[in-house]
Structures are given as C-alpha cells and as structure tokens.
Amino acid sequence: MIGVLDGEKIHHDIDGVLNGLVAAGEAKAKHRHLAVTHADGKRWVLVGLGKRDELDAEKVRVAAASALGRARELGAGRLCWEVPHKVGSEIAAAIVEGTLLSAYRFDRFKSKPPEDNGGPDALVVSAHDDLTAVVTQAQIVARAVNAARNLQNTPANEMTPRHIADAARGLRELKGVTVEVEGREGLQRLGMGSFACVAQGSAEEPALITLQYEGPNASGPLLGLVGKAVTFDTGGISIKNANKMSDMKFDMSGGAAVLGAMEAIAELRLPVRVVAVVGATENMPAGNAVKPGDVVTAANGTTIEIINTDAEGRLVLADCLTHAVNRGAERLVDIATLTGSIMTALGNTHAGLFASDDDWAAQVAAAATTSGETVWRLPLHDDYAKALDSDIADVMNVNEARKAGSSVAAQFLQRFTADVPWAHLDIAGTAWGTGKPYAAKGGSGWGVRLFVELARSLTR
Ligand code: BES
Ligand code: MN
Ligand code: ZN
C-alpha cells in the first residue's frame, strides 16, 4: 500500500513502474483513488491521499479502509503499508486504526463462516523511523474499539446487564483496574430511585458498574466517565412503535464506549486516574413497571416526576453521575444514545456536545478532533431547565412540547453533576450505522478513541 500525494514522487519505486502509473494518470492523488499493479513479484496498491498540507489522520483512516477493501478483493493475506515520508506519527497510527477497524466483522451468528473474513492476516508498517510504539498503541486502541463494537452488535437476549457486568469484570486482569458491580439491592441501598425505576419492570437484574484505574505515576484530575448501557429500550409503558425497535439493542453504546476506553487506557498504561460508571438495565413494560406520573427520588435527593418512561437514559445517568461525583470525579464526561432529536440536528456525522464549563468543553472537543470522532457543541440554558418544572416534584423527566429535546435532556443531566466541570456526549446519531468507510455497518465503537485522546490530554 503506497499513498499518493498530490505533486509528489513515490520514493521507493520499482524500476519506475509506480511513478509511471502516476504519470500515466492511472494512479491519482485524489483521496481514496485506487490503482493496482504488479511488480517485483508483489502487488502494489496506490492509494490517493490528496494534498500533503491537507493530510490528516481521518483522511488516512478512510484511505486505509479503501486500500484494505481492494487488497481483500485481491485475496492478499499480508499487507505492507508504506508510511508517507515526513508526516507526524498520527498518520501511521491512522493507517493501523483504519485497517483494523475496517477489517472488523461480526459474524458470530452466521452458521457458515462467510468467505470474506475481513482479513488481513498481517499488517506490516514500513517507515524510516522506528514506529513500534506508535503502531502498538494504535493496535491497542483499535482492538478496544472493536471490543466495544462486539458488545454493541451482540443482540440484547445475550447482551443483558449481567453480560455487560461480566465484560467489565474481565478488565480486572489489567494492571491498575478495579471493578465493582451492584444489582437491584445495591441501587436501593444507594438511594438510586431514578436508576432503579427504569429497571423495575425488567426480569433482568440491573448493574451499576464502577471501574477505577490508577495509572503509573498518575497525576492530574480524577477523570469521571459515565456511560448509558440500556441493553434494550422498548420505551417501557410509554412504548415505542415497532419501526426499527430492534436498533434499541444499541442503547448500551455509551456504556460500551466507556468499557472500551477503560480497556485501552489501562493497556496503554496512561499515567492518569479514572473512575468509570456504567449504568446497565433493560427498559421494559410490565405489570410492575414504572408508570407515567410516578414520582421517584434520585440519589442526590432530587424528586423526579416521570412523564414519559421512554426518557429512561437520563434517569439512569442521573444516579450514575451522582455516583461518579461521590467517588471524587473532578472532571466528568457522560456518553449516551440519549435523544432521537440529536439525529435530527446533526445526523450521523457529529455527536452533540453539551458542557457546563468552556475549558472542559474545549478539551473534549480537541480530543474529538484528534480522534476523528467529531462533535458539535449545542447550548445549555436555564430556559431549557424551566421546561422541566413539575407541578408536584422538583423536576419532570421530559416536557410534552418536545422542543430542543437534546438540550432539555442535557439540562436535566446537569442537575446531577454537582458543579463538577462536566461534558455530555449525545451519540444517538453516531453510535451505529455511521456509514464511515471503516465502520460502515452496525456498532461504530464511537467514543473509545475520543476518551483515549482525552485521557492523553490530561497527561500533557
Ligand atoms: N434511546 C432513546 C434515544 C434514541 C432514539 C437513540 C432513537 C437512538 C435512536 C432514548 O431513550 C429515548 O427514547 N429518547 C426519547 C426521549 C423522548 C421521550 C423525550 C426520544 O428521543 O424520542
Ligand atoms: Mn428511551
Ligand atoms: Zn434509551
């Protein structure tokens, strides 16, 4: 695999074959353009990377995905990528990420193994400098993203809250990681009436999962990551219609991203301290389910009038945020497939970013830019909070007007952040089916890379 940059010669040619291909116009610098030739007993894929001064990691991830697609058509088992000369290490990392993410397949439930297993058997990264560390780290991150995608794609009959908790417990084998799990009784004991009411109508035991990571020579603020892991969201008594309801197995994507991030951060041995809280439950209708009009009390004492049981994510997150604050989090980010409205606003390209603190918002946004998981900041405002004034309780979980649904939801969450600098990522549009060339179908693992970058930024 050789990248073609606009106006530049290919450095390691085979008797002029490769530059000849460029000169003939068969290989082009146009981004993602592909040309194939045979020389020196090997096959060469020339991949357009555009202009050098416009080159960034995301373009390279996408180009690497295209190149892998062609290599697979050619039946190549071993790939060698030549890193373009004089680029930053993020470009080599992007080659690894783009390749490993697009090689991902979820075929566990196919009774016959598909012919295309995603491939390749091996990826060799060729460069003038020693990139061992960069490549190893990128591989750790890509594998953690793919692990999150496995959690996402696994159907909800298997991916129950208990199964999410088991996945979290599996991280105990990583140095510096501790994992605690509380069930229904624990939620009651901790006064988490908000989280508990969502789980109330489900036969599956909910799981409040708390992970802690203490890196070597860790410094900086205690980072709190909070993830929504509703393993299936029927809407509850305010039941959803049947249209695409099967997608609601992905309503645990925030929790999957948090687990993937903890895996990567711990494997990378980043010198940071993290407390992660994942709230896992089903949201089911049942004879004993929470009903519209019920009032519950959250762990921080806030009373909530449940107007719509389908606005369950914020109820779970409310108590998980309080829990992260109680565990001493000094910076908070939550991640959740929270509102359909965010898809209306931003589609599948950006996640919604809401934040109570401009510096923290900027740090999260910078991590998003580096990771290629783009975000767009949307407003928090006291007027959105007023929309949730209840006649009989402190707050309602939704208002019937349904205007600015994502901002109103974020405003609800802010009540549970105890003034700790907090950012909220609404990933309902980006968690699956993004159509990105390296994550075309199913779960995208969105957020894992962003959280790794955020943790890295705390060490600088
Ligand atoms: N999990 C959904 C949000 C969602 C919807 C994510 C579609 C991805 C695709 C969430 O729990 C929900 O149901 N939100 C409601 C809130 C409403 C009742 C205020 C929504 O967005 O419709
Ligand atoms: Mn819902
Ligand atoms: Zn939901």
pLDDT digits (tens, 9 = 90+) for 411-428: 999 999 999 999 999 999
Q: Compute the CA torsion angle 228, 202, 180, 275 (nearest 10 deg).
A: 10
Decide if 216 is inside a domain.
yes
CB 404 within 8 A of CB 339: no
- Residue 380 has a pLDDT of 97
173 and 50 housed in the same domain: no
Does the structure show a pLDDT above 90 at 402? no
Does the structure show a pLDDT above 90 at 94? yes
147 and 178 housed in the same domain: yes
Peptide bond into 155 cis (omega under 30): no
Region 247-252: what's the mean pLDDT? 98
Phi-psi region of 25 (alpha: psi -120 to 50; beta: other; left: phi over 0): left
- From 195, 282, 310, 403, mutation site for ligand 1 pocket: most ligand atoms within 8 A of C-beta: 310
The question of whether 240 is a catalytic residue gets the answer yes
Q: Compute the CA torsion angle 197, 172, 261, 232 (nearest 10 deg).
A: -30
311 lines ligand 1 (CB under 6 A): yes
* Average pLDDT over all residues of the chain: 97
Atom from ligand 1 closest to the CA of residue 398 = 19
- Residue 400 has a pLDDT of 85
Atom from ligand 1 closest to the CA of residue 408 = 19
Q: What contacts 344, CB < 8 A, 6 or more positions away? A: none
287 and 215 housed in the same domain: yes
Decide if 134 is inside a domain.
no
- Residue 405 has a pLDDT of 97
The residue from 240, 269, 291, 377 that is catalytic is 240
First to last CA, the chain: 34
Among residues 282, 226, 233, the alpha carbon closest in space to that of 258 is found at 226
CB count within 10 Å of CB 157 equals: 10
Does the structure show a pLDDT above 90 at 440? no
Region 344-350: what's the mean pLDDT? 97
Nearest CA to ligand 1 atom 17: 311
Region 230-234: what's the mean pLDDT? 99
Q: What is the pLDDT of residues 318-334, one digit of tens each?
A: 999 999 999 999 999 99
Strand extents, DSSP E, 322-421? 331-336, 351-355, 375-377, 395-396
CA gap 453, 446 in Å, rounded: 13
Does the structure show a pLDDT above 90 at 119? no
Atom from ligand 1 closest to the CA of residue 397 = 19
Decide if 135 is inside a domain.
no
Does the structure show a pLDDT above 90 at 113? no
Integer angstrom CA distances of residue 71 from 1, 116, 146: 9, 12, 21
CB count within 10 Å of CB 455 equals: 25
- From 195, 282, 339, mutation site for ligand 1 pocket: most ligand atoms within 8 A of C-beta: 339
Does the structure show a pLDDT above 90 at 401? no
- Residue 27 has a pLDDT of 98
CA gap 247, 432 in Å, rounded: 9
- Residue 61 has a pLDDT of 98
The residue from 314, 331, 415, 436 that is catalytic is 314
Decide if 132 is inside a domain.
no
Among residues 48, 44, 21, the alpha carbon closest in space to that of 34 is found at 48
Phi and psi (nearest 5°) for 143? -65, -35
Among 126, 158, 175, which residue terminates a domain? 126
Q: What is the pLDDT of residues 303-316, one digit of tens each?
A: 999 999 999 999 99
CA gap 410, 93 in Å, rounded: 34
- Residue 307 has a pLDDT of 98
309 and 376 housed in the same domain: yes
Does the structure show a pLDDT above 90 at 257? yes
Local confidence band at 114 (pLDDT 50, 70, 90 cut-offs):
confident
- Residue 325 has a pLDDT of 99
Range(s) of the domain holding residue 162: 141-457
Decide if 221 is inside a domain.
yes
CB 334 within 8 A of CB 226: yes
CATH at residue 102: 3.40.220.10
- Residue 319 has a pLDDT of 99
- Residue 55 has a pLDDT of 98
Q: What is the pLDDT of residues 40-55, one digit of tens each?
A: 999 999 999 999 999 9
Among 91, 126, 161, which residue terminates a domain? 126
Does the structure show a pLDDT above 90 at 116? no
Local confidence band at 274 (pLDDT 50, 70, 90 cut-offs):
very high
Local confidence band at 409 (pLDDT 50, 70, 90 cut-offs):
very high
Total structural domains in the chain? 2
> In the chain, what percentage of residues exceed pLDDT 90?
97
Local confidence band at 19 (pLDDT 50, 70, 90 cut-offs):
very high
Q: How much distance in Å is there from the Cα of 55 to the middle of ligand 2?
A: 40
249 and 151 housed in the same domain: yes
User: Is the whole model's pTM more than 0.95, yes or no?
Assistant: yes
CA gap 41, 395 in Å, rounded: 70
- Which helix (H) or strand (E) element contains residue 267? helix 253-267
Does the structure show a pLDDT above 90 at 178? yes
- Residue 115 has a pLDDT of 82
CATH at residue 157: 3.40.630.10
Decide if 292 is inside a domain.
yes
Region 132-147: what's the mean pLDDT? 98
Please report the DSSP string for 57-73 in residue order.
Answer: HHHHHHHHHHHHHHHHH
- Residue 144 has a pLDDT of 99
120 and 153 housed in the same domain: no
Own/partner long-range contacts of 395-398 (Cβ < 8 Å, ≥24 apart): 395/302, 395/303, 395/304, 395/305, 396/304, 396/305, 396/306, 396/307, 397/304, 397/305, 397/306, 397/307, 397/308, 397/311, 397/314, 397/315, 398/307, 398/308, 398/311
145 and 117 housed in the same domain: no
The question of whether 172 is a catalytic residue gets the answer no
Q: What is the pLDDT of residues 275-312, one digit of tens each?
A: 999 999 999 999 999 999 999 999 999 999 999 999 99
Decide if 136 is inside a domain.
no
371 and 430 housed in the same domain: yes
- Ligand 3 (ion): residues with CB under 5 Å are 230, 233, 251, 313
